[in-house]
Amino acid sequence: MIEMVLSILWSQWTWLVGVSTVLAYKWLTANQDFFEKRNVPHEKLTVLFISTIKMILRKESMFEMVKRMHLKFKDHEYYGTFEIRTPGLIIASPEMIKQITIKDFDHFLNHRVILDAEDEPLFGNTLFSLKDQKWKEMRATVSPAFTGSKMRMMFRLIDECARNACKYLKGESQNKGHIEMDLKDYFTRYTNDVVATCAFGIQINSFLEKDNEFYRMAMKATNFMGVAVFKLILFVCFHKIMKWLKVRLFDEKFSKYFHKLVTDTMQQRAEKGIIRPDMVNLLMEARKGVLQASNTGKADANEGFATAQESIINHKPVNRIWTEEELVAQCFGFFLAGFETSSILMCFCAHELMENRLVQEKLIEEIDGVRKELGNEPLTYDAIQKMKYMDMVVSETLRKWPPAVATDRICNKPYVIRGKDGGRYKLEPGDKIAIPIVGLHYDPDNFPNPDKFDPERFGEGNRSHIRPFTYLPFGVGPRNCIGSRFTLMEAKAIIFHLLSEFTLEASPQSCIPLRLATSGFELKPKGGFWLTFKPRDR
């Protein structure tokens, strides 16, 4: 009798699993003929979500996946891919990228937003996540923080952090001689201090106060591993369900910490009349309504910073009264970009200098020349801007290891893509297009021998020959990274001070040749960024 009951239950369970599997398969593959109907080249969906299965199973990094897909279809102006079951169009042609992101920008105003203000107020109100007119007004509000004059004022704060970071290493070398370490922790502490002082107006030395509260909270915010990665994937694939369940990416304690940090700083400065060249001061001015986008455009133009992309935005006086939450979010956005992205750039730059000895020697020669010119004076913004080889090295690092492997846009008006071969692809509001940054950077038609680290690509005689819209380390068009110059300044300052005192050597744990890890969303080598700092004999 018991065996009969178990047999019936087993058969029902088997039937249920079979039906569920079939339904799941039907749901996942419902769009598999989407691109075939439209005559768009794409990778065949012979296995469930084959485009991303290697990444999901940690067999391939997102970096490698985007590069692989682009090199396969680079001879086409655009091609199709799937995000689980959702079709998306990848734009491969530089001319088409220009058309979409510059000339027809009004059809592609926004990025795809995974977390909006309702999902996650701290992230959803950042400049990256804002949309349409609200984005335009916030961009105009924060733009003054990144003009040349503001960069010069903030540089002394950055240089102080860079000198503290180098001073720490010199102290360690006096006791240990050569110092072997994983660069990620070192550069993360440096960028933590830079962001703390430039965005939040607080001075921290994370090399002396290793467990300070700001650093702990920053690490918690940017640790996209384990549960955080799983939650982020769920937000991408099942946004409505996650919203209904009221799941938050950042916990409430973390959000309250950053909110209180900014508002308390604003209140203290208002009471004591403190003025400081940082983001908090800019936002306080914005709250008073004294900033106008029209003035912003004029200031940038006078300093040679205005670009054709930026001028597309209609600069009008910003009369909006920003809420406290919206202003705090801008500091948080500045923190996210400056903390993680910048430290990764520095790690890759140091690693490439370690692997490429002749490049390192040439950069040291330039640094020593600048130090001689400065004498006993501190490093200045103008001095770092004049360093041509430093710029070439950092530019090539960004070419080989761009901070974002791809960027996207969301269509907000009906639009038809017209190919040179007469092909047409119709986009409706809400459709997503993507630009494969790392694919363009590794396309040998754009950059010959792309795996080689070669700063001379950006030399005075070569830079002008780079095909337009193939080098996009900070994105493209009016929605490019507003803080790109800040990131470059921050990276160049620490590289300058480090190579003034040390040479960068391989350690037994160095990953040579560099191979990327396939876990999480973080761009890093297998085993980490290990190298040895060897004190220079000067």
Output the known binding site for heme: 481
H helix or E strand, kind and range, residue 505: strand 502-505
- C-alpha of 50 from chain center: 26
Environment class of residue 251 by beta-carbon count within 10 Å: exposed (0-12), middle (13-18) or buried (19+)? exposed
Give Dmax (Cα) for the chain.
Answer: 96
- Half-sphere exposure of residue 416, counting CA atoms within 13 Å on the CB side? 5
Render 391-454 in DSSP notation, one character per residue: HHHHHHHHHHS-SSS-EEEE--S-EEEE-TTS-EEEE-TT-EEEE-HHHHHT-TTTSSSTTS--
User: How many Å is the Cα radius of gyration of the chain?
Assistant: 25
Q: Which residues are annotated as a binding site?
A: 481
**Contact by Cβ (8 Å): 363, 499:** yes
Rounded-to-integer distance, Cα 185 and Cα 319, Å: 42
| CB neighbours of residue 21 within 10 Å | 10
Q: Cα angle at 456 between 454 and 460, to 5 degrees? A: 160
Residues with Cβ within 8 Å of residue 122, at least 6 apart in sequence: 250, 255, 258, 259, 328, 329, 332
Q: Which two tokens stand for residue 453?
A: 């680290």
Q: Which two tokens stand for residue 111?
A: 């990025």
**DSSP SS3 for 490:** helix
Residue type, 510: S
Helix (H, G, I), strand (E, B) or coil at 91: strand
Conformational region of residue 434, where left means phi above 0, alpha means psi within -120 to 50, and beta covers everything else:
beta
Count the Cβ atoms, other than its own, within 10 Å of residue 402: 26
Burial of 114 (0-12, 13-18, 19+ CB in 10 A): middle
DSSP output for 168-197: HHHHHHHHHSSEEEEHHHHHHHHHHHHHHH
Count of positions (residues) in the chain:
538
Are 517 and 525 in contact by the 8 Å Cβ rule? The answer is yes
Q: How far apart are CA 496 and CA 486, in angstroms?
A: 15
Cα separation of 491 and 505, whole Å?
Answer: 19
